[in-house]
Each structure stands twice: as structure tokens, then as C-alpha cells.
Amino acid sequence: MSGGVDSSVATGLLAEQGYDVIGITIKTYKYEDVGGNVGNDSTCCSLDGINDARRIALNLGIPHYTVDFSETFKDQVINYFIEDYLAGNTPNPCVMCNRQIKWAEMLRKADTLGAEYIATGHYAQIVHDEISNRRWIRRSDDAQKDQSYMLWSVRQEHLSRTIFPLAGYTKPESRAQGDRMQLGIASKPESYEICFIADNDYRRFLRDARPSIDTEIGNGNFELDGQVIGQHEGYPFYTVGQRRGLGIAHSEPLYVLNVLPSTNVIELGTEDRLLSTELTAHSVNLQKYPDLNDKRKLLVKIRYKDDGAMATCWTDQDGILHVTFDEPRKAIARGQSVVMYEGRDVVGGGIIRDSR
């Protein structure tokens, strides 16, 4: 229970359906450690959100606990986020949080409380094929709120113990349910920022987390076709596809093509050079099928706000995912998630390693 609309309504629906519900709010970070807009109610794990969750649980007549996962979250999510930027990648902390915190850690907590399932306010569905005994995520009916892309890394054993009460609901319908149940959160705004970067300024966060980042890395070169054309603030502060904030005057708009940590170089180029037809990915998790040894034609998304494109996908003997697109894709960034769909079903995904 984050204190927001979705998890609150999910809790209320489960209580109405006769489940024996326990409300759990996760404290994922120490406010003094992350800086920025501390306590901002627009983030999913704010202090105000914890208080709202406690109040709603009281109104619903269910027990409520706040559990401190801040040390595990720092190790598994925040440090990963920092180290991935320092490796020249573009990390996706929400995917890591879902896998390591909202499922793995939450299920361990569920076991200590004698709970059989965990439930969240995600807009997605879980499909169970009784013949193969496999479970997978299916896209939500509400395309605007579909969160299946962020759930590709949830494992089979975790999906078997998961309930999505909002499956089949749209966001307006959830707000209406919250109003009907008089939860007092029906008009609460959405949370969009990374929870531990409440001011949405990841550069400020990296500098706070690594005070020596400017002296250890410092300024580097912008290069265009191997020629130095300017200076940048340090490679961790740039990502593939970025156009704004480069401070480079050129006859054509320039974009970040590549981030090179070993030399602190940012390679720039025109928009057409952002196109790639192939990628590979590691840390692969398959949901719908036990393997992807044979090539399959699937719809593939390379970022959250992506309509997806058709591609041929397979995994090699080392478990590396290979994706070849029918048409070139723009700005494929290392560290982001690639997610494969068959119709509305999540086949699986991985973390992008490289592209060409």
C-alpha cells in the first residue's frame, strides 16, 4: 500500500471480496539519504503516502504494517542505478525494484505473516496455462495505464503467488471505486518520478550519491565523426538519444549516439545514425515459454513509452537474447529493458547489452 489510488482501491476490493487482507507499506529509502524534494507526496513511497496508507487500512478495518526494506533497496536498486550510470548505461530502477523488492522481499515478508498471496495495484493481468503450468503477464485493458512492460522480470514462482485486483479496470473506474468506498484518495494525482529522486533530477542525485564524481570523471569530449567539437560535464550525465542540454551549435540537430566510459567521450551524430536493426540482451527472464531456442516473430518494445515493432527473437546457448527488427529502431539504449509480446501476452524480456 503506497497510499495512492491504485493500491488503496486494490486493497478495498480484496477486502470486499472476502480476503483476509494485511496492508503492507514498504519504506524503500531513507529520506535524508536521497535529497531533493524530501517528503514530496507525488512519489510512491513518500512519508505522506505512508500516512495515507495507514489511514486507509484503519478505515477498511485491516491490520497495517510499515516494513523497512531501505537497506536491501539501497543495495539492490539505488546502488545498481548509480553503478549502471557510471558504466555508461541507462538503468531502469523500477524493473529492478519489482523483481527484487516488490516481489522477492515482499514474498519473504508474506511468509513470515502466514500470507498465501501478495497483491498490488498494477494494471495488468496474469494468465495461467494449466497444461504447461506456466504463468505470464498480459497487457491491461487500459492501454494508457498498462504496466506490463515493467513486469517482464517477475519470475514464475512469484507470479503463482500474485493477485492483480485491478485487472480489467481502467484508471477512471479505479478512481470511481475509490470514491464509492470513501477512501479519500479518488482525486490524488499520479506519481511519475523515480521514487528515490523526488525532484526528478538524476544529475543532482548522482552528484549527491558520489560527491567525487566531478573530480574523478570531470569534463570530457563531445566527438562528431572522431573529431572533438566541444566539452561535456562527464559521461554519466548523458544517455543515448539525448538531444537537449548538449550546448553544441551545429548545422543539423545532434544526438547522443554512444557513451564511452573508458575515455569519457560522448559520440554525437545526426538523427539518422540513431537507427539500429539488431540488439542483444542479458539477464533474460521468460514468462510465456520455457525457452526461446527457436526463432519467433514477436512484437518488441525497447522502452516504456514505445508502441513496439515486429522482430525475430531467440536466445543462444549462453542465454543471451538476440533481436533482429523488421525495420530499424531509434535510440536503443544500453541498460534499458527490451520486452517481447505475443499479442497482448508478455513472452519475456531482458536488459539491453548492445545494438547495431
Contact criterion met (CB below 8 Å) for 19 and 63: no
Residue 121 to residue 117: CA distance in whole angstroms? 14
* pLDDT tens by residue, 163-176: 999 999 999 999 99
Enter the CATH code of domain 216-269.
2.30.30
The grid coordinates listed for 309 are 515493432
* pLDDT tens by residue, 281-330: 999 999 999 999 999 999 999 999 899 999 999 999 999 999 999 999 99
What's the pLDDT score for residue 192? 62
Residue 191's pLDDT band, with cuts at 50, 70 and 90, is: low
Tell me the CA distances in angstroms from 240 to 97, 236, 265, 335, one per residue in order: 23, 11, 13, 10
Q: Which residues contact 299 (CB under 8 A, 6 or more apart)?
A: 308, 309, 310, 311, 340, 341, 342
Residue 346's pLDDT band, with cuts at 50, 70 and 90, is: very high
Contact criterion met (CB below 8 Å) for 329 and 338: no
Rg over CA atoms, the chain? 21
Is residue 52 over pLDDT 80? yes
Return the CATH fold of 274-355: Elongation Factor Tu (Ef-tu); domain 3 (2.40.30)
* pLDDT tens by residue, 262-286: 999 999 999 999 999 999 999 999 9
Find where cell 539500429 sits.
Answer: 276
Find where cell 551524430 sits.
Answer: 269
274-355 shares the fold of 216-269 = no
What's the pLDDT score for residue 113? 96
* Partner residues linked to 68 by β-bridges: 27
Contact criterion met (CB below 8 Å) for 336 and 152: no
Catalytic residue, chosen from 44, 45, 94, 97, is 97
* DSSP string of 134-155, one letter each residue: EEEEEE-S-TTT--GGGGTT--
Catalytic residue, chosen from 44, 94, 195, 313, is 195
Q: Which residues contact 289 (CB under 8 A, 6 or more apart)?
A: 134, 347, 348
* pLDDT tens by residue, 212-258: 999 999 999 999 999 999 999 999 999 999 999 999 999 999 999 99
What's the pLDDT score for residue 41? 44
Whole-structure pTM value:
0.93
Q: Is 45 annotated as catalytic?
A: no
| CATH architecture of the domain with residue range 5-121+165-180 | 3-Layer(aba) Sandwich (3.40)
Residue 93 to residue 114: CA distance in whole angstroms? 29
* Partner residues linked to 238 by β-bridges: none
Residue 221 to residue 248: CA distance in whole angstroms? 12
* Partner residues linked to 260 by β-bridges: 265
Encode 69-89: b = buried (16+ Cβ within 10 Å), e = exposed.
bbebbbebbbebbbebbbebb
* Closest by CA position to 23, among listed 120, 165, 160: 120
Q: Residue 9, class by beta-carbon neighbours within 10 Å (0-12 exposed, 13-18 middle, 19+ buried)?
A: buried
Q: What is the mean pLDDT of the chain?
A: 93
Report the share of the chain in percent with pLDDT over 70: 96
Domain ranges in the chain are: 5-121+165-180, 216-269, 274-355
What's the pLDDT score for residue 187? 75
Q: Is 44 annotated as catalytic?
A: no
Contact criterion met (CB below 8 Å) for 345 and 308: no
* pLDDT tens by residue, 99-142: 999 999 999 999 999 999 999 999 999 999 999 999 999 999 88
